[in-house]
Structure 1
Amino acid sequence: MTSDGFILPSAPNFRDLGGLRSGSGRPVRHGMLYRSDALHSVSTEDLSVYHGLGIRQLVDLRTPVERERLPDIVPDGAEYAVVAVQGQEAAGANFTDTLADPEAARAMFADGAAERFMYAVYRELVADEEALAGYRELVERAATGPSALVFHCSAGKDRTGWGAAIILSLLGVDRADILADYLASNERQANTDAWMRRLSVGSGLAWDDVAPMTRVRAEYLETAFGHVDEMFGSFDQYVADGLKVSESVVERLRDRLV
């Protein structure tokens, strides 16, 4: 790890979920579960570190268009798995194409609409059928698939952020610590900022109109957890009835990661 805390400076939101205190009081194991932004950007300088982490499973949460435009660099010896958590018609799936159309971009994101868009994305990540199936698979892969595992989307903050929140909740990590991990993405968005600034120039939008999509906010994650309670009654019921993750898989997840 570099002195500034980055494992892979060229993929700044790549980080280890180990070290957080679980519900049993023991820490989540280091070197078993990583979260990241897109992994097409791993530099030549970072490749030896990346390939040396022992990653045996890479889970790509992006849409087909995102994957085709920027294919991942897969660690040596790792299984590459596509696990969709958004359909192509979902609110968050096509915003890059929307930004390429100034008229559509203004209609969708101007005058505070980007913030409303983000809240809609988080509600979809909780309740959409594709999201439920995808996050179930992510949990099952973390519990039973080859280890270590890295999962990611494009910025590594929203789709990946909710995935991390699910897994850490299943491990009994305190909600305040889950939120702190989630908000840590804000200091790791150099790649996203550069990408979004290029997109926003083509959109004709002011940066202030786009900015709500470039950072995470506590309110976004709270919206997701609140929607869990609205839809399912509790997080446990979300896991059982929404994700349909069995108790045995949860136990295997805890045995492996704690």
Structure 2
Amino acid sequence: MTHRLQRTLSISMLTLTLMGMGTPVVTSLAATTPTTQVPKTPDKADPDRVPILNGEQMPETMATPKVPAAGKPGSRIALSKDSKGFNANTRDLGGYLTKDKTQAIKSGLLFRSAQLTRVTNSDINKLAGFSISLIIDLRTPFNHMKKKDALIGKATSKVAAIYSQSDDDDLSGVQHYNRANGGSIAFSPTALSGYHDFLTDLVNAQGPILYHCKHGNDRTGIATVLLMSILGMRNQDIINDYLMSNNYVDKQVEYTWLKTYIGQIDEKFGSLNNYITSPKGLNFSADQQAALRAKYLVPSGLAVPKPMPVSTPKPIEKPTPAPTPKPLEKPTPAPTVPTSNNPVTSPAPIHAGQPDLVVAKPHQAGKTKMKVLSVKKLKHAKAVHLKAHRAYFFDLHLKHKVGKSGKTGRHPRAKWQLIKQAKLRINGKIKTYVEVQSPHGKKRWIQLKDVSLIKNTANHSH
């Protein structure tokens, strides 16, 4: 009993001491209690980075395009529209032109849609008239079986799920594209596998294909962005087709969501093409992409020829009499070959009295010769600030420039971690670059001279 009393008195004295020092007891106890980690919130878009779609900067804003006339690219196939608009978003991708307008997507081969669970017999007969051979369901296997598509002619059906079932139950709106845990529609294992299978099925299909998710806008919309990018469509048409769903279904999509998706891909892979071809991305090779183009593109007949120079016809003149031929002159004797007794002299210029002509080589501006000499991973972390208004890049080869740090006044105050150090030879000069990581996990390459050391936790000096 005495032991317990002494322990109680000791705790009381400790409490009074802490309160006298101005330290709340709750704070002291909290310091010994494991804290629950706060979930990471989604990164905000980097203000210095503009998403790049197929080598071009995406516009800052885009409005939903107008509904095109029937039969034009983006127009819907007229099916019976139910109360929730499930049958209003069925479209043929045929008619979209490539960037150079020399080819177009062949009509009657590629159809995007919402789930085919509420179609009428008339709708089924209309779709069967397209001789669809394969229906690709981008929903989960559970939803594929729970809400089965109607049988369309002799078409077979398969699942290429983009979400896991837990994701499908939880995600909505922009969460499809940018989630707190980083497993967005672009990078989750299910999405990578699902879109790889989708594109591969397009190459191997023996006839027209229809693909869909639930409403035909998010998973199907991104599938169409990937497909149209590989086929070489204009960015304007790719974005318009993505936003066209807003004209046909109640469940809307937003342009900022597409920018978020492309921006995430830019940041991790450097470009959409890298994401499509990379083994860590969709793993859809250049040969497979060429096969896709050969299968679904046809000559458009709309190629714009280069304008030919128009020459003004000269007025017809009276023929002039032929000039009287001059008498033949004696041929000029060949020059004497110099011997050891005859000194060699420089030949006279072709045009006597005129300076020699010098043809200047075309100036090759903008080319930078760069070679990576060495890369090493730093064993001990260093905390640094980025100096204001310094250029930094996505990759080590300095091909994808992000912008300049400090434009918003945020970067100079943020604490970055040094990860790697590399030596580069740029136009004959040796320069040192370092890979740094932001508090949000973003990685950049920047010159070593453009960072300021905050805290040296190792024996390395800045």
Same fold (TM over 0.5): yes
Structure 1, 142-151 or 3-12: larger mean CA deviation:
3-12
State the partner residue of 1:231. Answer: 268
- Distance, in Å, in 2 between the alignment partners of 1:70 and 1:15 is 21
CA 42–115 in structure 1, closer or farther in 2 if over 3 Å, else same: closer
Instruction: With the length of structure 2 as denominator, give the TM-score of the two structures.
Output: 0.44
**Distance apart, 1:24 and its partner CA:** 4.9
**Distance apart, 1:52 and its partner CA:** 1.0
Q: 1:8 aligned to 2:83?
A: no
State the partner residue of 2:420. Answer: none
Q: Contact (CA 8 Å) 1:144, 1:252: kept in 2 or not?
A: no
Corresponding letter in the other structure for 2:201: R
- Aligned match for 2:117, one of 27, 36, 40: 40
- Distance, in Å, in 2 between the alignment partners of 1:143 and 1:116 is 30
Q: 1:137 aligned to 2:197?
A: yes
Q: 1:249 aligned to 2:288?
A: yes
Structure 1 residue runs of 4 or more that deviate by more than 3 Å after TM superposition:
1-7
Instruction: Tell me which structure has the larger Cα radius of gyration.
Output: 2
Q: 1:159 aligned to 2:219?
A: yes
State the partner residue of 2:237. Answer: 177
Q: Contact (CA 8 Å) 2:76, 2:90: kept in 1 or not?
A: no
Gaps of 5+ in 1: 96-107, 109-113, 194-213
Q: Contact (CA 8 Å) 1:144, 1:253: kept in 2 or not?
A: no
CA 119–138 in structure 1, closer or farther in 2 if over 3 Å, else same: closer
Q: Contact (CA 8 Å) 1:123, 1:227: kept in 2 or not?
A: no
- Aligned match for 2:254, one of 197, 217, 230: 217
State the partner residue of 1:63. Answer: 140
- Distance, in Å, in 2 between the alignment partners of 1:142 and 1:246 is 14
CA 123–173 in structure 1, closer or farther in 2 if over 3 Å, else same: farther
State the partner residue of 1:206. Answer: none
Q: 1:148 aligned to 2:148?
A: no
Corresponding letter in the other structure for 1:63: T
Q: Number of matched residues?
A: 216
**Distance apart, 1:2 and its partner CA:** 7.4
**Distance apart, 1:174 and its partner CA:** 1.3
**Distance apart, 1:65 and its partner CA:** 3.0
The 3-state SS of whatever aligns with 2:223 is helix
- Distance, in Å, in 1 between the alignment partners of 2:174 and 2:218 is 14
Corresponding letter in the other structure for 2:262: F
| CA offset digits 1:29-53 (Å, max 9, x no partner) | 1111000001111112222101111
- Distance, in Å, in 1 between the alignment partners of 2:177 and 2:269 is 18
| CA offset digits 1:137-196 (Å, max 9, x no partner) | 11111122122001000000000000000000001111111110011111111xxx4xxx
State the partner residue of 1:76. Answer: 153
Higher relative contact order (CA 8 A, sep 6+): 1
State the partner residue of 2:248. Answer: 188
Gaps of 5+ in 2: 1-68, 82-86, 298-462
- Distance, in Å, in 1 between the alignment partners of 2:220 and 2:292 is 18
Q: Contact (CA 8 Å) 1:8, 1:50: kept in 2 or not?
A: no
Corresponding letter in the other structure for 2:165: Q
Identity fraction in percent: 30
